[in-house]
Structure 1
Amino acid sequence: MLIKAYLHAKILLAHYKQALSSAEKQDNKNKIQQAINSLNSACQQLSQYQD
């Protein structure tokens, strides 16, 4: 179950990174970057439980 959540978060990260590169407004870029940061943090936490 945790591995599934980790993989979903990684997929979302890829989508958000793509959205970040195509975002035009700085406000949108900031919001997307915040989401990326949150997902990276979640991935780090989830990776501790993968063993």
Structure 2
Amino acid sequence: MKRIDLIYQKLMELGSQNKVSASDLAKMMGLARANVSNDLNQLWKEDKVE
């Protein structure tokens, strides 16, 4: 599974009520913040996240 898919899955687990920053998400998942930020931007462009 790709990193972007793992990030999307984690966001779905957290639910839409929980807002999380790229930094917080990176810490939770043990990933680099820059990579998480790039993937979140891509998910936003695909209208998968707000």
TM range (shorter): 0.3 to 0.5
Highest Rg: 1 or 2? Answer: 1
Q: What's the TM-score once normalised by structure 1's chain length?
A: 0.39
Q: What's the TM-score once normalised by structure 2's chain length?
A: 0.40
Which has more helix, going by share of residues? 1
